[in-house]
């Protein structure tokens, strides 16, 4: 085979694809490729996730189980439920814990996590493990794409050497295998932008690598943006997320400054965003959460430290954003104090513990910082989140309570951390005694006797 033959197989959908890591990024991607007509093998080392997929049950809120079930059907196999027939051209997805499929696959896409270690340095173990599994099964004309967010240079410094020396053979990039980096830009919970209509940035190790990866992604995304190297593509992702993290830090600091000036930060932002150019609104909140924004800029800062450079914006933004749960704690304490109460012994009901609205992901959520602080100060803390039935927090586990009038009225303070759309804010305000609203969720609620303290 050759590059031309690989591209031909991609175009006529005879190419097989393996997606390694079936999480928020990998599962929607694997389904999208299957929907485009490819045979896709999803590989995940978590057997419970694999079993769920094989039962046709999605654990990712953005992927409904019916959509999953449709691509899990083999051609000709009768559907259990849902649409009357499999649309023509639909491929098939299977899920497994075994890496064996890599030996036959034409394209392997790595979507494994890239967290931080306890010392907040990059934990690259998942990328290395996936690259090693591919290297053991690398075969001529295989395309490998890294999608996990990582530091600039990771594709060429970590993945490439492993593939070059795969199986004791001399593989050469761009000649008998192809390697590219293409950052995932998915935004969980976003109804408007998905894998298909979000432009895909791709950087190949060589021009042939870029060509192979571009051919693959052009089958599923509306627009491919080619850049000159994987390092550029890696830096694109870090610019995007560092931009968000630093702007959120800026507006968080504005919230703190506005309080001292006795100015409503939300009113300031609403008025500022009427400027049709040169301004883009960001909103303050109880801190930064999720797998990306609190983590990704640290990959950049770590890489820069190895080059004897301090990424100052990253450091300052982290300081401000990570200080927000403590700032919210002081708001709660002061608000209770104004009502003649101490935090010690008060009942606090937290509404929303996910890191952002309308998702069930609690990774790095500010609630995980705030709740232990409240407990340490002697508060009795309960929470409600429609998407998070149980929460491991501090030294224990809490269960989401039923959101009733009694629960609201029984709380000395209701703290809004995540503004899920399912909440009826009028009803929450009418039935609460004191609210600390970190998201301006109650902005449109008619004035009531309840005291609402905003960020």
Ligand X SMILES: NC(=O)c1ccc[n+]([C@@H]2O[C@H](COP(=O)([O-])OP(=O)(O)OC[C@H]3O[C@@H](n4cnc5c(N)ncnc54)[C@H](O)[C@@H]3O)[C@@H](O)[C@H]2O)c1
Angle (CA) 31-34-39 rounded to 5° is 130
Q: Is 389 exposed, middle or buried (0-12, 13-18, 19+ CB in 10 A)?
A: exposed
For residue 112, state whether it binds ligand X (rule: CB under 6 A): yes
Q: What is the Cα–Cα distance from 317 to 296, expressed in whole angstroms?
A: 12
**Minimum gap (Å) between residue 391 Cβ and ligand X:** 17
Token readout for 390 is 């149980």
- Answer yes or no: are the C-beta atoms of 366 and 287 closer than 8 Å: yes
For ligand X, the binding residues in 188-247 under the rule CB under 6 A are 188
In the bound state with ligand X, the residue whose beta carbon lies nearer, of 82 and 115, is 115
For ligand X, the binding residues in 309-368 under the rule CB under 6 A are none
For residue 20, state whether it binds ligand X (rule: CB under 6 A): yes
Task: Please count the helices (runs of H) and the strands (runs of E) in the chain.
Answer: 15, 15
Pick from 9, 21, 178, 258 the residue near ligand X by CB under 6 A: 21
3-state SS assignment for residue 293:
coil
The size of the interface with ligand X (CB under 6 A), counted in residues, is 26
How many whole angstroms from its chain centre is CA 44?
17
Query: At a CB cut-off of 8 Å and minimum separation 6, what does 28 contact?
Result: 60, 62, 63, 186, 194, 195
In the bound state with ligand X, the residue whose beta carbon lies nearer, of 22 and 249, is 22
Q: What is the Cα–Cα distance from 393 to 354, expressed in whole angstroms?
A: 12
3-state SS assignment for residue 381:
strand
Token readout for 53 is 């997929």
For residue 116, state whether it binds ligand X (rule: CB under 6 A): no
**Minimum gap (Å) between residue 392 Cβ and ligand X:** 16
- Answer yes or no: are the C-beta atoms of 204 and 230 closer than 8 Å: yes
- In the set 111, 209, 258, 292, the catalytic residue is 292
Q: What is the Cα–Cα distance from 105 to 16, expressed in whole angstroms?
A: 5
Binding part of the chain for ligand X, among 82-90, 123-131, 138-146, 419-427 by CB under 6 A, reads 123-131
Pick from 45, 430, 433, 451 the residue near ligand X by CB under 6 A: 45
Token readout for 414 is 């209701």
Query: At a CB cut-off of 8 Å and minimum separation 6, what does 373 contact?
Result: 325, 326, 329
Token readout for 329 is 């704690």
For residue 111, state whether it binds ligand X (rule: CB under 6 A): yes
For ligand X, the binding residues in 142-161 under the rule CB under 6 A are 148-149
For residue 181, state whether it binds ligand X (rule: CB under 6 A): no
Pick from 9, 92, 126, 384 the residue near ligand X by CB under 6 A: 126
292 is catalytic: yes
Pick from 40, 53, 68, 130 the residue near ligand X by CB under 6 A: 130
Angle (CA) 216-184-124 rounded to 5° is 110
DSSP 122: B
**Minimum gap (Å) between residue 113 Cβ and ligand X:** 4
**Minimum gap (Å) between residue 23 Cβ and ligand X:** 2
In the bound state with ligand X, the residue whose beta carbon lies nearer, of 112 and 350, is 112
In the bound state with ligand X, the residue whose beta carbon lies nearer, of 98 and 172, is 98
For residue 269, state whether it binds ligand X (rule: CB under 6 A): no
Pick from 19, 186, 209, 403 the residue near ligand X by CB under 6 A: 186
In the bound state with ligand X, the residue whose beta carbon lies nearer, of 125 and 315, is 125
CB atoms within 10 A of CB 226: 17
Pick from 3, 15, 22, 428 the residue near ligand X by CB under 6 A: 22
Residues in contact with ligand X by CB under 6 A are 20-26, 43-46, 49, 111-114, 126, 129-130, 148-149, 184, 186, 188, 291-292
Positions annotated as catalytic residues are 292
């Amino acid at each position: 085979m050759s590059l031309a033959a690989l591209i031909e197989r991609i175009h006529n959908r005879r190419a097989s694809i393996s997606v390694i890591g079936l999480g928020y990024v990998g599962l929607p991607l694997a389904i999208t490729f299957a929907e485009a007509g490819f045979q896709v093998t999803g590989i995940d080392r978590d057997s419970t996730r694999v079993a769920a997929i094989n039962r046709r049950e999605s654990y990712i809120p953005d992927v409904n189980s019916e959509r999953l079930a449709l691509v899990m059907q083999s051609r000709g196999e009768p559907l259990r439920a849902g649409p009357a027939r499999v649309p023509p051209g639909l491929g098939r997805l299977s899920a497994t814990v075994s890496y064996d499929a890599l030996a036959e696959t034409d394209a392997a896409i790595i979507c494994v996590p890239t967290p931080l270690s306890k010392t907040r340095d990059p934990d690259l173990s998942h990328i290395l493990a996936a690259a090693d599994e591919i290297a053991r099964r690398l075969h001529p004309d295989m395309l490998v794409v890294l999608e996990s967010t990582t530091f600039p240079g990771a594709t060429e410094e970590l993945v490439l050497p492993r593939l070059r020396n795969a199986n004791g053979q001399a593989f050469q990039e761009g000649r008998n295998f192809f390697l590219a980096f293409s950052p995932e830009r998915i935004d969980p919970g976003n109804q408007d932008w998905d894998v298909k209509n979000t432009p895909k940035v791709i950087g190949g190790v060589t021009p042939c690598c870029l060509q192979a990866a571009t051919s693959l992604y052009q089958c599923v995304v509306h627009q491919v943006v080619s850049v000159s190297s994987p390092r550029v593509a890696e830096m694109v992702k870090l610019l995007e997320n560092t931009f968000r993290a630093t702007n959120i830090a800026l507006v968080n600091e504005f919230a703190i400054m506005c309080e001292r000036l006795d100015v409503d930060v939300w009113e300031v932002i609403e008025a500022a965003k009427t400027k049709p150019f040169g301004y883009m609104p960001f909103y303050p909140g109880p801190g930064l959460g999720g797998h990306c924004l609190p983590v990704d800029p640290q990959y950049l800062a770590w890489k820069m430290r190895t080059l004897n450079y301090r990424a100052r914006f990253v450091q300052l933004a982290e300081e401000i954003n990570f200080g927000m749960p403590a700032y919210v704690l002081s708001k709660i304490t002061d608000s209770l104090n104004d009502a003649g109460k101490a935090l010690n012994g008060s009942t606090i009901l937290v509404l929303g513990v996910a890191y952002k609205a309308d998702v069930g992901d609690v990774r790095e959520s500010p609630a995980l910082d705030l709740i232990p602080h409240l407990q340490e100060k002697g508060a009795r803390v309960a929470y409600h989140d429609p998407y998070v039935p149980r929460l491991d927090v501090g030294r224990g586990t809490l269960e989401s309570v039923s959101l009733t009038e009694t629960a609201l009225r029984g709380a000395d303070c209701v703290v809004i951390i995540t503004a899920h759309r399912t909440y009826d804010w009028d009803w929450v305000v009418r039935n609460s005694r004191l609210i600390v609203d970190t998201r301006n969720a109650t902005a449109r609620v008619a004035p009531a006797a309840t005291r609402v303290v905003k960020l």
